[in-house]
């Protein structure tokens, strides 16, 4: 074969539901020299990443680290480790990612009870009032990227306590855009991703487990059926339990450099300032979209600031319009997922992509294609 030319990907503005624009500082960090996964300097970098993730997640949990793989690997990690065959798991399902959690938990042998809500709504603690304990795990999605709905976490710890359950959340889209505050909400287990509001490339899934949740992993009757994601093994690489670090699999070194820089950027800005930027520009984008006559199906109080969801306007061809945005304006927005395919647009304002210029670019481009 003839060798293909070197890559020159087009410049895009990434305002879909992820990946988001990667900060040039993060791309530069990724290009630093690869070193060994047991190099003392790399171990120092790992420790810094763990501390920064704790700060971003609002937790003191020792077991806080990035798993190798995208956000979905975080989801898989949580259920692979915490579910044993026959455990009862309750999942709040009000969108695609809740459905996926139920599916993954089922694959690991859980008896899954779905508590359902229409897509576009959030759960209140009362929605779980009919569930009888004890159960192993109660799981909800903090920021449901398929619907643009924010799930308030207040009161869910009380529900989990009544059911004698661990409380787990998906914070893939919230981390870095909204306060997550695991400890304040009594969350036992959480997973996230790097490619949404942290604005690092896809490839890592930060996770955090309370000591109670990790004790449950260590006390399993059978070993975790997924060897690659087994926290009892991988934790021996990410922490020093006396005998140094032991090899499990080769860490994706340069992805971890990228995450290190992305965490530094988020902490330099400050979590409050970062949340405020997402809130302010999110509100500006949604009011601009409304002025264009687009309808916003999510009630204002439940809207994710980092992801505006609008109905595809009557008479507009979803695919053709998004393809014009991409080719004529270099702008990527997302289409609908699952039941919302063809019916919704999902416009992200995540991390580095959340700027005044992008709000203006997006409103101008959408005005043109509709
Ligand atoms: C994007 C997303 C995921 C999956 O992350 P990937 O990086 O695509 O594997 C899981 N949950 C939510 C809420 C998401 O938005």
Please give the number of the atom of ligand 1 that sits closest to the Cα of 195.
7
Question: Could you tell me if residue 315 is left (phi over 0), alpha (psi between -120 and 50 degrees) or otherwise beta?
Answer: left
Residue 278, pLDDT above cutoff 90: yes
The residue whose CA has the least distance to atom 14 of ligand 1 is: 172
Count Cβ neighbours within 10 Å for each residue of 56-65 and write b for 16 or more, e otherwise.
bbbbebbbbb
Distance 213 CA to ligand 1 centre (A): 22
* Terminal Cα-to-Cα distance of the chain (whole angstroms): 44
Mean pLDDT of 162-174: 98
Q: What is the pLDDT of residues 132-144, one digit of tens each?
A: 989 999 999 999 9
Domains with residue ranges and CATH for the chain: 13-18+272-369 (3.90.1150.10), 24-267 (3.40.640.10)
pLDDT at 243: 80
Residues with CB under 6 A from ligand 1: 18, 70-72, 75, 97, 141, 143, 145, 170, 172-173, 193, 195, 202
Nearest atom of ligand 1 to the alpha carbon of 144: 13
> Which residues, 6 or more positions from 369, have their beta carbon under 8 angstroms from its beta carbon?
316, 321, 324, 325, 328
Predicted pLDDT of residue 241? 77
Which of 66, 68, 172 best tests ligand 1's pocket when mutated (most atoms within 8 Å of CB)?
A: 172
CA distance 51 to 64: 8
Q: Which atom of ligand 1 is nearest to the CA of 141?
A: 13
Q: Alpha-carbon distance 67 to 38, whole Å?
A: 16
Contact 15, 331 (CB under 8 A): yes
Question: Which residue minimizes the CA distance to atom 12 of ligand 1?
Answer: 172
Please report the pLDDT score of residue 136 as a whole number: 98
Q: Kindly give the number of the ligand 1 atom that is closest to the alpha carbon of 142.
A: 13
pLDDT of the residue at 242: 79
Read off the pTM.
Answer: 0.97
DSSP 3-state of 309: strand
pLDDT for 361 = 97
pLDDT tens across 28-79, in order?
Answer: 999 999 999 999 999 999 999 999 999 999 999 999 999 999 999 999 999 9
Distance of CA 242 from the midpoint of ligand 1 (Å): 35
């Amino acid at each position: 074969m003839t060798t293909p030319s070197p890559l020159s990907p087009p410049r895009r503005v990434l305002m879909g539901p992820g990946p988001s624009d990667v900060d040039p500082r993060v791309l530069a960090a990724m290009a630093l020299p690869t070193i060994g996964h047991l190099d003392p300097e790399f171990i120092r970098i790992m420790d810094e990443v763990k501390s920064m993730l704790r700060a971003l997640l609002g937790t003191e949990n020792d077991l806080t680290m990035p798993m190798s793989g995208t956000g979905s690997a975080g989801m898989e990690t949580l259920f692979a480790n915490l579910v044993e065959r026959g455990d009862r798991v309750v999942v709040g399902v009000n969108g695609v990612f809740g459905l996926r959690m139920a599916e993954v938990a089922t694959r690991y042998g859980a008896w899954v009870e779905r508590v359902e809500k229409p897509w576009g709504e959030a759960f209140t603690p009362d929605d779980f009032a009919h569930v009888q304990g004890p159960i192993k795990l109660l799981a909800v999605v903090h920021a449901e990227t398929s619907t643009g709905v924010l799930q308030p976490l207040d009161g869910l710890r009380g529900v989990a306590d009544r059911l004698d359950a661990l409380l787990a959340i998906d914070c893939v889209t919230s981390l870095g855009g909204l306060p997550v505050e695991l400890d304040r909400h009594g969350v036992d287990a959480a997973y996230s991703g790097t490619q949404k509001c942290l604005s690092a490339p896809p490839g890592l899934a930060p996770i955090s487990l309370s000591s109670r949740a990790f004790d449950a992993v260590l006390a399993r009757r059978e070993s975790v059926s997924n060897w690659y994601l087994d926290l009892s093994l991988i934790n021996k690489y990410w922490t020093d339990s006396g005998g140094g670090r032991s090899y499990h699999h080769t860490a994706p070194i340069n992805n971890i450099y990228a995450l290190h820089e992305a965490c530094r950027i988020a902490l330099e800005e400050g979590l409050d300032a970062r949340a405020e930027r997402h809130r302010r520009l999110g509100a500006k984008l949604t009011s601009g979209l409304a002025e264009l006559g687009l309808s916003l199906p999510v009630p204002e109080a439940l809207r994710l600031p980092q992801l505006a969801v609008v109905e595809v306007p009557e008479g507009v061809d979803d695919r053709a319009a998004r393809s014009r945005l991409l080719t004529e304006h270099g702008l990527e927005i997302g289409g609908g997922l699952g039941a919302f395919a063809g019916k919704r647009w999902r416009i992200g304002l995540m991390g580095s992509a959340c700027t005044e210029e992008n709000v203006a670019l997006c409103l101008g481009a959408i005005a043109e294609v509709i």
